[in-house]
Structure formats: C-alpha cells, structure tokens
C-alpha cells in the first residue's frame, strides 16, 4: 500500500480556501472518466474540525453533535485509509487493495475530486490511495455516478486449474475483459474465448467485443470461464471441452472454488441451463390472450425444456431463487397473476412504450418484465424460469437491488410499479396544469377534475390498475379557511394502532454519588419527542425540583450526542442505541460540563518492554462546575471519586458528605483505600498532573474531557457492571399473545389513517 510523506504545513484558513475553490471548480467540470478518491470520514472530519474551528456540526436529524474538548483542534496527522481496507478479502483474492463491502458514503468515506485529493495528499501524505472512476449511468452526459464498487469477477481457466480475481468497470467492454483475462493468464488473445459462466453454467459466448459488461448482464461476484482454442477460428480445444463436460479434475476444482469464494453467496444447485427454443406459435394462452413479440415471433417462452404439453394449464410456472431473491420472486408472481397485467403484457404492449420519457428507463424495464411474464405464461411451461435477465435490468436502474442480499418486497414493488408506469406512460408531452379551488362545488365534481388533471400527465396500465385517489382536508385553526385537495396514490402507509406507544430503557447515573446507576424502562408515545422521554424518566426516578436530567447517546464508550433538544423526535433514537441519563443539580450560575472517559490497561505482550496502552471502556460520567470558579487537580480527582462511591465493592469506604466543599471532601478522603490515576487533557493535548494548582476549564467548550485510567487492581474495587453493560433502548423479546380486545384489522388501520389530527408548528410544511 502506497504511503506518502507529508509536506510542510499551511495555515488552516489557507487550506480551507484552497480546497473550497478547487472543489467548486472540479464539481462544475466533472465528466465521465474523471477520477475520484475515497478518504475515510474519520480523517476528513478531523480536517474539517481543524480548518473550521469553534463551530458545532448539526446532524441530519436536527440534533447537535459536539466534539468535546475541541476548542482548538490539532492539525490532523497523515491520511489513514486503513479503516476502509478489507484485509480478509486481500487474503482470498490476488488484488492489491480491497475495500469493505458494506461501506456507506458519508458514514464511512467521502469522495474527493482528483485535484482535491492531490492537494490533501501532498500536504498530509499517508494513504493508501483508493481511486475510482466516474461513469455515465443514464442517457445524458450529466448522469454521472462514482463507481465505488466495480465488478469483482473470478476468471476460471479450468484447463490449467487456475483462477484469479479482477476488478473491472461495468461500463468496460467485453473486449477489455477479454484482454484482462489474457493478461492475467499470459494467453494469446486469438486463442482465447470467454463465457458468461453465471451459476457455473455456460450461458453465452462473449464474442461481441464492443458490448459493455452492463449490457451483457455481467454482475458482481460472478464467474467468467476462460477457454483456450486451438486456432484463430474459434474451435475449442478438445481437452477444454472435456473439462466443460465434467472430468474428475474439473469437478474437484469447481468444488474447491466454490468453497474458497464465499462472497457470491450463490447456491450451487438452484440453477439450470435455459435452452429456450425460438419458434412461431399462434395458439392462444387463454381466450383473447395472444402471445406476440415485436417481430411477430414468440421468442423464448417455452421454459428451459422447450417442450409443450397439450392441455396443461398455463401460468403454473415457478421462478428460480437466485440467492436471497424470494422477496423479488413473490412480488413478481403477484404482478404476473394480476389478470389485467397478464392480458396487457401478453398482447402488443410495445406500442405503448415511452422511450422519450426522461423519468423512465427507455422502456427497458417494461420490456424485461414483459418478456419474463410471457415466459411464465408460456403454454405447457412447467420448468422453473430464471429471472436473471430481469434482475439484471432491475439492478441497472436500481443499484440497491444488486447482489443477493435480502430486501423489502414492498420497496421493490414500489420501484417496479413506478418504473413500469414511466416506461409505459401514454403521455409523451406533459402539460402544465394548475388545479383550481373547490369554490363550493361538490366533492364528485372536484375529484373528477383533479383526476382528469392527473390523467393528462400520467396515463398508463399502472395508473389504470393500481392508482386511486383520496381526499385531503386542511382547516386553518386561526382563520378557519378550508383547503380541499384530491391526491392520487398507489400505496397507503397505514398506522398500526397497537403500536401507539414505545418502550425505552435508559440508565440513570447520579452525579452526586447518592445512588448507584439504575436502569429505568418507560413508555413514551411512539411519535413522541425528547421532552416526553425526559418527563417519563423524571417520574420514574422521582426527580426533585432542584434537579435536571441530561440524556446522552453512547457509542464506542464515548458520548456521541446529547439529546438536549426538547422537540427532537424520538424516532431518531433506534432500538439498538444505548442511552445514559445524568442526574444533575440545577445551578443558579452557568456551568461547564466535565466528561470522565474510562480507560483500562492493555498490555502489548508482543513488545519486549511490555508497554502499557489505554483503551476506552464503559460509560462516561458527567459532572458540572460553575463557570469562573477556581478548580484544582484535587477537586477534579474528588469529583470522579464521589460519583464512583456507590459502585465501590468495599462497603467500608469512607462516606463523603454531600454538602461539604470540594477541598474539604478531598482532603478527608482516604486515598490509600481507593487510588485512581487521572489524566486531564487540555486544548493542546498536554497532560495536567494532579496538584493543588488551579486548572483553567475552557469557557466556550461544551465539555472538558478527563481520562480515568484504571489498573487491574483498581477495577477489582469497583462493581463495573453498570459501566460495562449499558442496555439497549429496547431489548427484543418474543411478542406477547394478543388478546381478543387487541384484534387488528385492515379496516381499523384505514380508520386510523382517516382520523383527523392537528398539525403542530413543526408540521406546517404539510399544508404548503
């Protein structure tokens, strides 16, 4: 992996201005083939903090995410992209760099234009370098996307018992793949042919060198069979043919390859060769259901056997599972057995394909679905049909359905119906229409007008079968004005009445040492806000008038964010998040928070000197001190001891008076009975030793961080369970049996959907 030494540092404001200007220029001139570079979000965020200081970042859900102790962030070190590298994949494949398969842009990495990367790389050095190309994903020059995950293909040269992995763009051609295969195995190009070897079955001889791999339906993690021919005319070597038919070596090699390449996740026995026949066929599927293709022939509709059984019913054909594709197969079977769709796609639907619709897929999705439906309704077809060609088209236009992971069937159905509608929209030029007010007219008249306006812009078989209309009424609580609209819909998201409340668990930490950490489980409105959780927890822990609660989300033993906005929606808190609640006194003066992050010893036994390093663990503790009050190192030391007293295993530990001063309590404390080492890290990352010297606590930072370093001996004195085992917000358990009184019906959900509800100020956008 390439690592580069950094250049001399520039002022932060200079770096920020240069990167900003370069980014704006690069994005404005971006084109197909440009190179972008991945950089870890962790390093990028540290650079942002460095060049934009004293600012608080706001997360997408509206909450504030503060980096504690970052008043003056240090200049970040060398770029370190090792978080993105999948070392396990490198051991399996022969490629130099492999990134993790589950990376998400924005969360794990940022994409930088080449000019920006070169600047940052020149300033900071480091690496490794991870370049990616911009490809065209649509039908105009501006439809660009960065191909973060090029196709990963396994090339199999069975005549030699060799294999290798390559990465190649889906926009590269078959000719480029052919060249890569020849280079990989040191073969003469004129003596090599390559096959689409999907599912360990020879599907297609890849001889159209100009076709892109995307158009050839080549997908991630599939195999490409490389065969050696005896001459330039393409006659296959007899030995190679015997391998394809299956000799002992090939069977053994095939088994080992499958065992060594778990990435594909493909079952080895769910595939059959699709040797479809092509013939003229004029008999009807059912009355008035004539099968036609664009040229009048019926192509590839007889299933894999190519046989017709007289008198056998149509439509009783299954779909092969390509992996975890049951979610797709179930949705397809529902659609192809909808009578209106069956009649439509078995007739000449091609005349309604809208290839000019910029919102569509040039008709390709409709064509792929229509051909799949015809195969499933072929007379006498009983052999299961592989939906692979359809899935390839679907994945081309909706990359989230690529691969073989499980997905939500409704999400696929929604995308498919929307895509089919746009491909089959009979309206070629959509007019601009301004809907008028009701003005006292009847609902029927207004509804007909709205529907006519909708049909004037959206008219397809999908609208005919799957779309409806509902009435929406808004009443202004101030002036009483009534606004009525009739909106089209294709699916309704209905509320479930039994799920109106939500159970949430959090641990309350007493910051004055009066009680041990205690978990509380409370019920709050499912669509509630942070103030609802604060009120429920306050009631549960008997919060006093002079106290307050501070809720924090804990990630990786650190405070990720404070839930201090009363109107923050609780839906932003996931069931698998972990919450710590700090019980603090209300102070008359403004206070500074101090965060105590626990760390334990981690001996490096691989080093001859057995160096000790410190790793974060447990749940941070929070204390507060009035601003402008003089604080010493002993005071800070005593603060953390006071909070740890309820967790001491030794019941004979000295009791700390709740109302004595910091200095008095500190000097009365028997430090020999429970000795902890504290480190205070200031803004310049300097360790401040424990002493009577005053410590300056930054006034503008939300919290100053102290690290509590625990030795193994110290840990034995503390009951660490409350610190180590913070429960999730909601622990899943088998659902209780529903009583008769809780019966749930579709009509009850529809009633809840139609129920009136007032709009709060945060929802006023809904009335626009």
Same domain, 129 and 161: no
- Is pLDDT at 51 greater than 70 in this prediction? yes
- Residue whose structure tokens are 């004293």: 54
| Helical spans, DSSP H, in 186-300 | 238-245, 248-260
How does 44-82 read in b/e, with b if 16+ C-beta sit within 10 Å? bebbbbbbeeeeeeeeeeebeebbbbbbebeebeebbbe
Calculate mean pLDDT across residues 170-188: 92
- Which has more confidence, 724 or 417? 417
Q: Of 86, 119, 145, which one is at a domain's C-terminal end? A: 145
- Which has more confidence, 317 or 341? 341
Q: How many CA atoms within 13 Å lie on the side-chain side of 376?
A: 26
| Euclidean distance between CA atoms 421 and 112, whole angstroms | 36
Q: Which residues are within 8 A (CB) of 12 and not within 5 positions of it... i.e. 6 or more apart?
A: 50, 51, 53, 75
Which conformational region is residue 380 in: left (phi greater than 0), alpha (psi within -120 to 50 degrees), or beta?
A: left
Whether 560 maps to a domain, the answer reads yes
Least reliable range by pLDDT among 245-259, 324-338, 379-393, 543-557: 245-259
- Which has more confidence, 56 or 11? 11
Question: Residue 683: which of 50, 77, 70, 75 has the closest Cα?
Answer: 70
- Is pLDDT at 691 greater than 80 in this prediction? no
| Euclidean distance between CA atoms 345 and 461, whole angstroms | 10
Whether 665 maps to a domain, the answer reads no
The pLDDT confidence band at residue 696, using thresholds 50, 70 and 90, is low
Same domain, 361 and 381: yes
* Encoded tokens for 168: 């190649």
26 to each of 30, 34, 109, how far by Cα in Å?
A: 6, 10, 19
pLDDT for res 259? 32
> Tell me: the pLDDT tens digits for 286-302?
333 333 333 333 333 33
pLDDT for res 541? 92
What element of type H or E holds 532? Answer: helix 530-540
pLDDT for res 100? 87
Instruction: Answer yes or no: are the C-beta atoms of 494 and 752 closer than 8 Å.
Output: yes
Same domain, 518 and 533: yes
Least reliable range by pLDDT among 354-363, 393-402, 634-643, 679-688: 679-688
- Please state the φ and ψ torsions of residue 457, each to the nearest 5 degrees: -115, -25
Least reliable range by pLDDT among 521-535, 651-665, 743-757: 651-665
| Euclidean distance between CA atoms 437 and 372, whole angstroms | 45
Q: Of 226, 247, 270, which one is at a domain's C-terminal end? A: 226
What element of type H or E holds 345? Answer: helix 339-346
304 to each of 266, 271, 273, 289, 360, how far by Cα in Å?
A: 20, 11, 7, 22, 31
**DSSP assignment, residue 625?**
E
Radius of gyration of the CA atoms of the chain, in A: 33
| Euclidean distance between CA atoms 87 and 93, whole angstroms | 10
Q: How far is CA 559 from the centre of its chain?
A: 22
pLDDT for res 55? 39
Q: Which residues are within 8 A (CB) of 734 and not within 5 positions of it... i.e. 6 or more apart?
A: none
pLDDT for res 112? 93
Calculate mean pLDDT across residues 433-453: 85
Same domain, 629 and 489: no
- Is residue 16 exposed (0-12), middle (13-18) or buried (19+ Cβ within 10 Å)? middle
SS3 of residue 534 by DSSP: helix
> Tell me: the pLDDT tens digits for 697-708?
666 555 677 777
pLDDT for res 716? 79
Question: Residue 477: which of 763, 755, 754 has the closest Cα?
Answer: 763
Whether 464 maps to a domain, the answer reads yes
What element of type H or E holds 36? Answer: strand 35-40
Whether 661 maps to a domain, the answer reads no
Same domain, 511 and 492: no
**What CATH number is associated with residue 158?**
3.10.20.90
| Euclidean distance between CA atoms 567 and 62, whole angstroms | 10
**DSSP assignment, residue 233?**
T
The torsion of the CA quartet 180, 186, 188, 193, rounded to 10 degrees, works out to: -50
* Encoded tokens for 505: 């668990």
Q: What is the 3-state secondary structure (H, E, C) of 497-510?
A: HHHCEEEEEEEEEE
| Euclidean distance between CA atoms 287 and 277, whole angstroms | 24
Q: Which residues are within 8 A (CB) of 213 and not within 5 positions of it... i.e. 6 or more apart?
A: 151, 168, 169, 170, 171, 172, 173, 174, 177
* Encoded tokens for 601: 């010893």
* Encoded tokens for 506: 């959090």
Same domain, 473 and 512: no
Q: How far is CA 656 from the centre of its chain?
A: 49
Same domain, 448 and 524: no
361 to each of 142, 368, 460, 652, how far by Cα in Å?
A: 16, 11, 15, 75
pLDDT for res 679? 60
Same domain, 545 and 573: yes
Same domain, 507 and 639: yes
| Euclidean distance between CA atoms 32 and 17, whole angstroms | 27
| Euclidean distance between CA atoms 583 and 561, whole angstroms | 17
Whole-angstrom distance between the N-terminal and C-terminal Cα of the chain? Answer: 54
High-pLDDT (> 70) share of the chain, % = 72
* Encoded tokens for 711: 């030795």
Q: Of 171, 191, 226, which one is at a domain's C-terminal end? A: 226
| Euclidean distance between CA atoms 234 and 240, whole angstroms | 12
- Is pLDDT at 383 greater than 90 in this prediction? no
Instruction: Answer yes or no: are the C-beta atoms of 209 and 175 closer than 8 Å.
Output: yes
* Encoded tokens for 693: 């010297």
What element of type H or E holds 334? Answer: helix 326-336
- Which has more confidence, 3 or 282? 3
Whether 640 maps to a domain, the answer reads yes
- Which has more confidence, 720 or 20? 20
* Encoded tokens for 757: 């509800």
The pLDDT confidence band at residue 122, using thresholds 50, 70 and 90, is very high
Least reliable range by pLDDT among 223-232, 316-325, 354-363, 492-501: 492-501
| Euclidean distance between CA atoms 479 and 401, whole angstroms | 48
| Euclidean distance between CA atoms 172 and 166, whole angstroms | 13
The pLDDT confidence band at residue 138, using thresholds 50, 70 and 90, is low
Beta strand pairing status for 79-80 and 126-127? parallel
* Encoded tokens for 549: 């609660």
Whether 660 maps to a domain, the answer reads no
| Euclidean distance between CA atoms 600 and 724, whole angstroms | 12
Whether 243 maps to a domain, the answer reads no
- Is pLDDT at 548 greater than 60 in this prediction? yes
* Encoded tokens for 484: 């009525």
Same domain, 387 and 457: no
Whether 737 maps to a domain, the answer reads no
Instruction: Answer yes or no: are the C-beta atoms of 375 and 303 closer than 8 Å.
Output: yes
Same domain, 593 and 693: yes
Instruction: Share the mean pLDDT of the chain.
Output: 76
In which domain, by residue range, is 38 found?
Answer: 10-54+74-145
- Is pLDDT at 466 greater than 80 in this prediction? yes
DSSP structure string for 687-718: EEPSSSSEEPPPSSSSEEEEEEEEPHHHHHTB
**DSSP assignment, residue 571?**
G
Same domain, 524 and 628: yes
Instruction: Answer yes or no: are the C-beta atoms of 76 and 43 closer than 8 Å.
Output: yes
- Which has more confidence, 56 or 231? 231
| Euclidean distance between CA atoms 373 and 654, whole angstroms | 79
pLDDT for res 161? 87
The pLDDT confidence band at residue 642, using thresholds 50, 70 and 90, is confident
pLDDT for res 324? 80
- Is pLDDT at 367 greater than 80 in this prediction? yes
| Euclidean distance between CA atoms 601 and 709, whole angstroms | 7
* Encoded tokens for 373: 């439906």
pLDDT for res 467? 94
- Which has more confidence, 688 or 657? 688
- Which has more confidence, 498 or 162? 162
pLDDT for res 257? 33
CA dihedral sign of residues 219, 220, 221, 224: positive
pLDDT for res 336? 93
Put the strands of the sheet holding 35-40 in their side by side order.
Answer: 109-113, 35-40, 131-136, 144-146
Domain count, the chain: 5
- Is pLDDT at 64 greater than 60 in this prediction? no
Q: What is the 3-state secondary structure (H, E, C) of 352-421?
A: HCCCCCCCCCCCHHHHHHHHHHHHHCCCCCCCCECCHHHHHHHHHHCHHHCCCCCCCHHHHHHHHHHHHH
> Tell me: the pLDDT tens digits for 69-115?
334 567 889 999 988 988 776 665 666 788 888 888 888 899 999 99
């Amino acid at each position: 992996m390439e690592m580069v030494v950094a250049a001399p540092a520039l002022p932060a404001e200079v770096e920020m201005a240069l990167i900003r200007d370069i980014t704006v220029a690069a994005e404005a001139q971006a084109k197909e083939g440009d190179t972008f570079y991945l950089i870890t979000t962790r390093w990028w965020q540290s650079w942002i903090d460095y060049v934009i200081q004293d600012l608080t970042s706001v997360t997408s859900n509206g909450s504030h995410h503060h980096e504690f102790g970052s008043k003056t962030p240090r200049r970040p070190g060398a770029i370190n992209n090792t978080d993105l590298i999948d070392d396990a994949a490198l051991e399996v494949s022969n490629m130099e760099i492999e990134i993790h398969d589950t990376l998400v842009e924005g969360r794990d990495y940022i994409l930088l234009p080449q000019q920006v990367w070169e600047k940052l790389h020149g300033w900071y050095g480091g690496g490794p370098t991870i370049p990616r190309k911009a490809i065209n994903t649509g039908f105009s020059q501006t439809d660009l996307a960065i191909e973060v995950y090029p196709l990963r293909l396994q090339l199999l040269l069975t005549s030699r018992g060799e294999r290798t992995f390559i990465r190649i763009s889906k926009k590269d051609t078959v000719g480029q793949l052919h060249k890569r295969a020849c280079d990989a195995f040191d073969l003469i190009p004129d003596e090599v042919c390559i096959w689409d070897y999907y599912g360990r079955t020879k599907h297609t001889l890849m001889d159209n060198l100009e076709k892109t791999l995307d158009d050839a339906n080549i997908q991630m993690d599939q195999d490409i069979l490389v065969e050696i021919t005896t001459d330039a005319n393409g006659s296959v070597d007899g030995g190679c043919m015997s391998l394809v038919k299956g000799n002992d070596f090939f069977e053994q090699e095939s088994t080992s390859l499958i065992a060594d390449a778990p990435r594909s996740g493909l079952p080895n026995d769910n595939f059959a060769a699709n040797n479809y026949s092509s013939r003229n066929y004029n008999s009807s599927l059912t009355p008035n259901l004539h099968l036609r293709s664009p040229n009048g022939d019926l192509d590839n509709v007889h299933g894999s056997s190519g046989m017709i059984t007289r008198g056998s019913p149509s439509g009783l054909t299954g779909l092969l599972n390509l992996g975890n594709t049951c979610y797709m197969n179930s949705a397809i079977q529902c659609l192809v057995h909808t009578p209106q769709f069956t009649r439509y796609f078995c007739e000449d639907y091609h005349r309604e394909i809208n290839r000019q619709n910029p919102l569509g897929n040039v008709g390709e999705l409709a064509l792929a679905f229509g051909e799949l439906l015809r195969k499933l309704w072929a007379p006498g077809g009983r052999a299961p049909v592989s939906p692979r060609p359809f899935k390839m088209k679907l994945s081309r236009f909706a990359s989230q359905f690529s691969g073989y992971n499980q997905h939500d069937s409704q999400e696929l159905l929604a995308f498919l119906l929307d895509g089919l509608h746009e491909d089959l929209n009979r309206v070629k030029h959509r007019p601009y229409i301004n809907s008028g007010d009701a003005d006292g007219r009847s609902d029927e008249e207004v509804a007909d007008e709205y529907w006519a306006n909708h049909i004037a812009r959206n008219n397809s078989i999908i609208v005919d079968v799957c779309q409806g209309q509902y009435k929406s009424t808004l009443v202004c609580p101030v002036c009483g004005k009534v606004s009525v609209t009739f909106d089209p819909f294709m699916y309704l998201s209905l509320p479930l009445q039994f799920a109106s409340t939500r159970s949430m668990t959090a641990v309350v930490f007493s910051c004055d040492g009066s009680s041990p950490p205690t978990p509380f489980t409370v019920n709050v409105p499912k669509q509630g806000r942070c103030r609802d959780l604060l009120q429920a927890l306050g009631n549960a822990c008997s919060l006093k008038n002079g106290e307050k609660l501070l809720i924090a989300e804990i990630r990786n033993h650190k405070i990720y964010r404070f839930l201090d906005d009363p109107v923050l929606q609780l839906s932003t808190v996931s069931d698998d998040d972990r919450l710590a609640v700090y019980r603090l006194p209300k102070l008359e003066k403004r206070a500074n928070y101090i965060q105590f992050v626990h760390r334990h010893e981690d001996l490096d036994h691989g080093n001859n000197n057995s160096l000790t390093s410190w790793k974060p663990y447990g749940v941070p503790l929070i204390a507060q001190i009035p601003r402008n009050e003089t604080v010493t190192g002993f005071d800070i030391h005593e603060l953390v001891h006071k909070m740890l007293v309820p967790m001491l295993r030794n019941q004979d530990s000295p009791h700390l008076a709740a109302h004595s001063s910091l200095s008095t309590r500190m000097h009365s404390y028997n430090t020999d009975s429970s000795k902890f080492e504290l480190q205070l890290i200031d803004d310049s990352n300097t360790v401040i030793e424990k002493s009577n010297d005053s410590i300056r606590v930054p006034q503008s930072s939300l919290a100053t961080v102290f690290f509590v370093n625990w030795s193994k001996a110290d840990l034995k004195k503390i009951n660490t369970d409350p610190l180590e085992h913070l429960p999730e917000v909601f622990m899943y358990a088998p659902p209780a049996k529903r009583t008769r009184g809780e019966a749930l019906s579709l009509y009850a959900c529809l009633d809840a959907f139609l129920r009136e509800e007032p709009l709060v100020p945060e929802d006023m956008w809904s009335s626009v």
